[in-house]
Structure 1
Amino acid sequence: MKYMVLMYADPAATAAMSADDRADVFRRHEALHQDLAGTGEMLNGAGLSYPNETTTIRRPDGRPERTDGPLTGATEQLTAYYVIDCPDLERACAIAERVVDFHVVAVEVRRIHDSFGMGET
């Protein structure tokens, strides 16, 4: 099964990270990539730009409307994602637990299906 691993962090804390902190985060993610390369479970992933570089599009009156900034005003914002392919939710959560740290303060694990949420998978 495919899962999306959505990582959340505080952008202000990210901006304030020291070079050593950034190197530590990089090493941990690189180790995860190497481990999952051997199993074939890592399909892709990316870091995302800061929320202040985000445009949100809504449709309040039947017409698309753009606003600057992220969808929510929460302190923690979506900062990166992985798409993984593994046997079950338990394994997906075990992988996701490896990215929670001083920087990534929350991780969502969500199953991916090919029907765009319109029916059974």
Structure 2
Amino acid sequence: MRYLLLIPTDAAHWATLTQAQRDQRLTEHVDFTRSIIASGEHVDSAVLSVPADSRTVRVRDGRTEIIEGPRSTDEEQLGGYYLVDCADDERAAEVASQVPDARFTSVEIRRLKTITGLMT
């Protein structure tokens, strides 16, 4: 079963880290990614650009509105994700606990349901 592991980020916290601490966090993510590639559970992963670089699209009454910036002004924003294929919920939680950021923030686990699977 596929799971999306959502990793929030707090720009204010990130700004307090030294370059060496940022490099260490990146190294930990590379090592973690290698481990889930080796286990066959890695499907995809990415770091998202900063929220200030985002655009939000809304369609209301047939009109498309494009807003520069994130949809939310919360301090904690989505920073990245891992898409994994795990045997069950317990294994997905185990994998999520190994994401380096779980020590500093949280990792949200969501099961994926395909649109085509919903159509049957």
What TM-score range do you get, normalising by the shorter chain? 0.7 to 0.9
Give the match for residue 98 of structure 1.
Answer: 98
Contact 1:9 1:106 in 2 (8 A): no
Identity of aligned residues (%): 35
The CA deviation at 1:15 is: 3.4
Matched residues, number:
118
SS of residue in 2 equivalent to 1:32: helix
SS of residue in 2 equivalent to 1:70: coil
State the distance in 1 between where 2:25 and 2:57 align: 31
Give the match for residue 18 of structure 1.
Answer: 18
The CA deviation at 1:23 is: 1.8
Which of the two has greater helix per residue?
2
Q: Deviations over 1:32-87 (max 9, x none)?
A: 11211221101111101100000011123332211111121111000001110011
SS of residue in 1 equivalent to 2:45: strand
Q: Deviations over 1:92-116 (max 9, x none)?
A: 11111222133xx122111112226
Normalised by the size of structure 2, how large is the TM-score?
0.87
Greater mean deviation of Cα atoms: 47-56 or 89-98 = 89-98
The CA deviation at 1:16 is: 3.6
The CA deviation at 1:118 is: 4.2
SS of residue in 2 equivalent to 1:78: strand
RMSD of aligned Cα (Å)? 1.8
Give the match for residue 107 of structure 2.
Answer: 107
State the distance in 1 between where 2:71 and 2:94 align: 28
State the distance in 2 between where 1:34 and 1:109 align: 20
- What are the ranges of 5 or more consecutive residues in structure 1 without an aligned counterpart? none
Normalised by the size of structure 1, how large is the TM-score?
0.86
SS of residue in 2 equivalent to 1:59: strand
State the distance in 1 between where 2:96 and 2:13 align: 21
Contact 1:4 1:109 in 2 (8 A): yes
- What are the ranges of 5 or more consecutive residues in structure 2 without an aligned counterpart? none
Q: Which runs of 4+ in 1 moved over 3 A?
A: 116-120
